């Protein structure tokens, strides 16, 4: 029963990189967190509201991704300066129920599908890590990367140490996620909705532009990137995997073993 596991361990890692905001979640999970920081008196309210305005501009379609993300990060860094780590964590805990409601119903099934195909899942989001890691845990995603603020002696310095939504940020997060191991690029998968996700798409064989913004939609049309929406994403991904020479075979083994496992394995 474990012979296929041996052969898989010998091959390069196959990963599935998932974006959160606008892909696994409706809009962004960051606003509930920032609102919670403001409501709890944890951050500078004016800077917090300025960050929210920048995020809203991108969500409305009135501002492009890169400049909105850069401005939102600047405001958020200022908002958080001096905040206690424990208060920030508590604000994330308070915000989580509202953020959780934004996760699309298909997200659970998509993660299960990717795991059944033998892929290691990684969530890479521009949103604050305090919320992103909760989303990853909720969905059973093995690893989470998000925006991180620097803390010294329990207080935020006002500096951001990782900024996945900025140009180069998702590529850097992917490097961190795959450090120490070779990646089987042809048999790896990514899904996202913004231009920043293209940095990951360029490094995998299977890329799905999910309800892409206008810039990513244009790039997807110029390349071999499939477009999907909330109504067909599961079918599109199922088909991509089933017809893939390596992942399709892994999926069959996983499904067969899942069936056998009910009756015979412990």
Q: Which stretch, 7-15, 17-25, 110-118, 180-188, contacts Mg ion (CB under 5 A)?
A: 17-25
Q: Given the complex with Mg ion, which of 26 and 184 has the nearer CB atom?
A: 26
Indicate whether 22 belongs to the interface with Mg ion (CB under 5 A): yes
Q: Given the complex with Mg ion, which of 43 and 123 has the nearer CB atom?
A: 123
Query: In whole angstroms, how close is the CB of 234 to Mg ion at the nearest point?
Result: 18
Distance (Å, whole) CA 256 – CA 7:
17
Alpha helices per DSSP H over the chain: 3-10, 30-39, 45-60, 65-80, 85-100, 107-116, 129-139, 169-177, 198-201, 214-222, 233-242, 247-264
Which of helix, strand or coil describes residue 2?
A: coil
Q: Given the complex with Mg ion, which of 68 and 187 has the nearer CB atom?
A: 68
186-205 positions binding Mg ion, by CB under 5 A: 193-194
Query: In whole angstroms, how close is the CB of 160 to Mg ion at the nearest point?
Result: 18
99: nearest Cα among 43, 137, 66, 64:
137
Total interface residues for Mg ion by CB under 5 A: 5
Q: Which stretch, 14-22, 46-54, 75-83, 254-262, contacts Mg ion (CB under 5 A)?
A: 14-22
Locate 120 and state its tokens.
């290691």
187: nearest Cα among 2, 10, 13:
13
Distance (Å, whole) CA 119 – CA 247:
8
Q: Which of 16, 17, 18, 19 binds Mg ion (CB under 5 A)?
A: 19
Q: Is the dihedral of CA 96, 163, 228, 59 positive or negative?
A: positive
Query: In whole angstroms, how close is the CB of 116 to Mg ion at the nearest point?
Result: 24
Pairing, β 120-128 against β 15-18: parallel
Q: Given the complex with Mg ion, which of 42 and 189 has the nearer CB atom?
A: 189
Q: Given the complex with Mg ion, which of 18 and 116 has the nearer CB atom?
A: 18
Query: In whole angstroms, how close is the CB of 243 to Mg ion at the nearest point?
Result: 26
Q: Which residue's CB atom is positioned nearest to Mg ion?
A: 22
Q: Given the complex with Mg ion, which of 21 and 87 has the nearer CB atom?
A: 21
Could you say which DSSP state residue 183 is in?
B
* Chain residues in the site for Mg ion (CB under 5 A): 19, 21-22, 193-194
């Amino acid at each position: 029963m474990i012979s296929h596991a041996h052969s898989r361990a010998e091959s390069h890692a196959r990963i599935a990189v998932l974006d959160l905001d606008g892909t696994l979640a409706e809009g962004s999970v960051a606003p509930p967190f920032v609102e919670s920081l403001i409501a709890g008196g944890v951050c500078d309210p004016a800077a917090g509201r300025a960050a929210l305005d920048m995020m809203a501009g991108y969500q409305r379609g009135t501002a492009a991704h890169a400049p909105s993300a850069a401005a939102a990060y600047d405001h958020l860094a200022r908002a958080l300066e001096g905040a206690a780590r424990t208060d920030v964590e508590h604000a994330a805990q308070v915000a989580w129920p509202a953020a959780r409601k934004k996760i699309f119903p298909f997200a659970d099934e998509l993660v299960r599908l990717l795991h059944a195909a033998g892929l290691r899942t990684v969530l890479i989001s521009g949103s604050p890590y305090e919320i992103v890691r909760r989303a990853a845990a909720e969905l059973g995603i093995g690893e989470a990367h998000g925006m991180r603020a620097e803390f010294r002696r329990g207080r935020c310095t006002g500096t951001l140490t990782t900024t996945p939504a900025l140009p180069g940020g998702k590529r850097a997060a992917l490097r961190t996620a795959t450090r120490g191991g070779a990646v089987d690029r042809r048999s790896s998968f990514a899904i996202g909705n913004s231009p920043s996700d293209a940095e990951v798409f360029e490094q995998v064989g299977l890329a799905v532009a999910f309800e892409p913004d206008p810039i990513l939609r244009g790039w997807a049309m110029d390349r071999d990137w499939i477009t999907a929406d909330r109504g067909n994403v599961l079918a599109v991904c199922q088909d991509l995997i089933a017809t893939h020479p390596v992942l399709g075979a892994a999926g069959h083994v996983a499904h067969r073993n899942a069936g056998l496992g009910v009756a015979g394995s412990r």
